[in-house]
Chain A
Amino acid sequence: MTYWIGVITVTGIWMIAILGISVLTGFTGLFSMGHAGFIAIGSYVCALVSKTFAAPMWIGIPCGMAGAILVGVLIGIPTLKLKGDYFVIATLGIGEIVKLLIENVPQITGGARGLTDIPRSTTFPLVLIICVLCVVFVRFFLTSKHGRNGIAVREDEVAARAIGINVARQKLIGMAISCGLCGLSGGLLAHYMGYLYPTMFTMAKSNELILTVILGGKGSLTGTILASLILVPLPEFLRTEAAQEWRMVLYGVLVVFVIIFRPSGFMGDRELSIKGIFRFFKNRFGKKAEGGVGK
């Protein structure tokens, strides 16, 4: 039982980061290859603050979030204005730099040996509450003017500009939110695991997170949540090593197939709602009309 609570807690922690990436990729149309780096910044800053000043985690975590947002915005300002893949490559660079930095300043970060003895103060109820708050926050953001502007930028930048949206600023907002949530996730992770290694935050991790968003459906919040709930704890079900390895192959194949045959992802941009499910059944059994999950 304790084991499964642990699995759910870890799933929740990663889901917060995935939600952040969803805001960036699914709802602003930007693709990042280095968000594991922002989780790393959040976790290390938080852990170091907590350890050095013996501060409680509600001080450490905001520090980690601030660090992640600061770095994200600083790299975003010059690159988000450019056309093309400059931003993708910049995030790839940041992700690698963060990892290399952690490895190369062992005096502070413990280097490749890792950072240990972080107070293990993240609990299951805490993660649950924060998860719910994050989902509500993202949902509220997306249905407000600023969220809609982000979606407009995703859909068509030229048209977004033509209706008066400051595209560069809108992208920075997406970046800041995603980095903040990744930082939060990192802080919780540090205080849950009790230790940190640079290899927890590789490019492969970044890829895994962003693929979860894409499989769930770019532009569907419920899709993202469902995908996180299924895909993040998947390794725990696949206990053999061979199955673990095939998992990533399967991820890759799924992504290619989804992109080619169903580019909008598993849920598309539809949202799952109680009302939608109700309507689905009513349509299915009532009129036999074409129904489905709707808004």
Chain B
Amino acid sequence: MSNAAAVSIQNLTKQFGGILAVDHISMEVKPGEIHGVIGPNGAGKTTLFNLITGIYTPTEGQVLVDGERITGLSPHTIANAGIARTFQNIRLFKELSCFENVVTACQNEVKYNFLQGCLRTPKYYREERRIQKKAQAILESIDLWAVHDQKSKNLPYGQQRKLEIARALAMDPKLLLLDEPAAGMNEDETNQLAGFIRQIRDQYQVTIILIEHHMDLIMEICDAIDVFNFGKKLASGTAEAIQNNPEVIEAYLGVDD
């Protein structure tokens, strides 16, 4: 079940007032790749995610996933096409349990209609049982089953980040956008995260684009990296090439956090 996607971003531009938050960016992501996007704060990384997922409409340019143009579609259509994301400032359904968070995210594959849902037809029970099993499997595979009936807002920070990824996985994504998954994690958790992201990629056959500030993490797991600065693409290549690129060192790596 290889559902990983290839992404092609072409000349993507977003202007806010007089500021070019994303300035004619083009990049390619190969299927099954873990693709890192790095750059200082305000470099336009999260804006890039918002453009891909349709929260913002680009001023110029387009995004193709598996050769199909997704630019201009509404956010929920893009999500239902298999493009899932997490958020920099965790956006879980706080009052719902972990299990409910994941079950809710299965909504696109649930095939009964409004009337069948309210009348409790056999199809309703069949579909509900199926997604509940699926949600359980996902939570088990990432070690969250033990807390499945806890309210998501009561989880420790690291688990909330994991749950957000679990919720994204419930959508059967072909492309997964992770926005600073290691933010707020301690060193231990960050180290675990590297293995976790690889495991997801292999197990769920998904292409991953990853925004991160933890250089160690990026360098360790990314197959390819793009470096942003002031909305422009500064460099791209493998971890090694990036680390030795003088421009990158000057703009980003040379500066202490």
Direct contact between A and B judged by beta carbons closer than 8 A: yes
Interface residues of B in 92-128 (CB under 8 A from A): 92-96, 100, 103-105, 107-108, 110, 112, 114, 117-120, 124, 127
| Interchain CA distance A137-B120 in the complex, whole Å | 10
Q: Does residue A72 face the partner (Cβ distance < 8 Å to B)?
A: no
By the criterion CB–CB under 8 Å, are A145 and B92 in contact?
Answer: no
Write out the residue numbers on chain A whose beta carbons fall within 8 Å of the beta carbon of B91: 156, 158-159, 162
A97 CB to closest chain B CB (Å) equals 29
Given contacts A148-B104, A149-B107, A151-B104, contact A162 B117 (CB under 8 A): no
What are the residues of chain A within 8 A of B79 when measuring CB–CB? 161-164
Please give me the residue from chain A that is nearest to B167 by CB atom: A163
Check: A155 CB closer than 8 A to any chain B CB: yes
Contacts of A160 on B, CB cut-off 8 Å? Answer: 93
Determine if B75 is an interface residue (Cβ-Cβ < 8 Å). yes
Contact partners of A158 in chain B: CB under 8 A: 55, 87, 91
Question: A141 to B107, Cβ gap below 8 A?
Answer: no
User: Which of A137, A140, A162, A173 is the most central at the interface, judged by chain B CB atoms within 10 Å of its CB?
Assistant: A162
- B207 part of interface (Cβ distance < 8 Å): no
Residue numbers in B under 8 Å from A159 (CB-CB): 87, 91-93
In the bound complex, CA of A159 to CA of B124 (Å): 25
Evaluate contact between A163 and B118: CB separation under 8 angstroms: no
Q: How far is the CB of A191 from chain B (nearest CB, A)?
A: 25
A164 in contact with B76 (CB, 8 Å): yes
On whether the beta carbons of A145 and B117 are closer than 8 Å, the reply is yes
- Tell me the count of chain A residues lying within 8 A, CB to CB, of chain B: 27
Contacts of A155 in B (CB 8 A): 92-96
A165 at the interface (CB under 8 A from B): yes
B80 interfacial by beta-carbon distance below 8 Å: yes
Q: Is B84 an interface residue (CB 8 A)?
A: yes
Taking a contact as CB atoms under 8 Å apart, the answer to whether A164 and B108 are in contact is yes
Question: Are B93 and A152 in contact (CB-based, < 8 A)?
Answer: yes
Q: Find chain B residues with CB under 8 A from A146 CB.
A: 114, 117
Contact check, B120 vs A161: say whether CB atoms are below 8 A apart: no
Cβ of A232 under 8 Å from chain B: no
**Which of the residues B76, B96, B108, B112 comes within 8 Å of A167, measured between beta carbons?**
B76
B-contact bits for A147-187, CB 8 A (1 contact / 0 none):
11101100110111111111100000100000000000000
Interface flag for B85 (CB, 8 Å)? yes
**Beta-carbon contact of B96 and A141 below 8 Å:** no
- Cβ contact within 8 Å between B80 and A164: yes
B118 touches A162 (CB 8 A): no
Residue in contact with B171 in the complex, picked from A164, A173, A219, CB distance below 8 Å: A164
Q: Shortest distance in angstroms between B123's beta carbon and chain A's nearest beta carbon?
A: 11
Residues of chain A within 8 A (CB-CB) of B94 are 155-156
Our pick among A148, A165, A264 for the contact of B100 (Cβ within 8 Å) is: A148
Report the separation of the CA atoms of residues A243 and B171 in the bound assembly, to the nearest whole angstrom.
Answer: 55
How far, in Å, is B103 (CB) from chain A's closest CB? Answer: 7
Q: Is B93 touching A137 in the complex (CB atoms < 8 A)?
A: no
A193 to chain B, nearest CB (A): 30
| In the complex, A103 has a CB within 8 A of chain B | no
Within 8 A of B (CB), among A250-295: 264, 269
Given the complex of chains A and B, what is the CA–CA distance between A147 and B119 in angstroms? Answer: 13
Query: Closest chain A residue to B152 by CB distance?
Result: A155
Complex interface: chain A residues within 8 A of B205 (CB): none
Give the chain B neighbours of A152 by CB distance below 8 A.
93, 96, 104
Q: Which of A145, A147, A151, A161 contacts B76 (CB 8 A)?
A: A161
The distance from the CB of B160 to the nearest CB of chain A, in whole angstroms, is: 12
A141 near B104 with CB under 8 A, answer: no
A240 is an interface residue with CB less than 8 A from chain B: no
CB contacts (< 8 Å) of B105 on chain A: these are 163
B93→A162 contact, CB < 8 A: no
Cβ contact within 8 Å between A164 and B107 = yes
A residues lining the B interface (CB < 8 Å): 137, 140-141, 144-149, 151-152, 155-156, 158-167, 173, 219, 264, 269
| Sample of 4 further A-B pairs with CB below 8 A, known A155-B94, A163-B167 | A156-B93, A163-B79, A163-B104, A264-B95
Q: List 23 A-B contacts (CB under 8 A).
A: A140-B117, A140-B118, A140-B119, A145-B117, A146-B117, A147-B117, A151-B93, A156-B91, A156-B93, A156-B94, A161-B79, A162-B79, A162-B87, A162-B91, A163-B79, A163-B105, A163-B168, A164-B79, A164-B108, A164-B171, A165-B107, A166-B74, A173-B114
Binding site for A on B (CB under 8 A): 53, 55, 74-77, 79-80, 84-85, 87, 91-96, 100, 103-105, 107-108, 110, 112, 114, 117-120, 124, 127, 167-168, 170-171
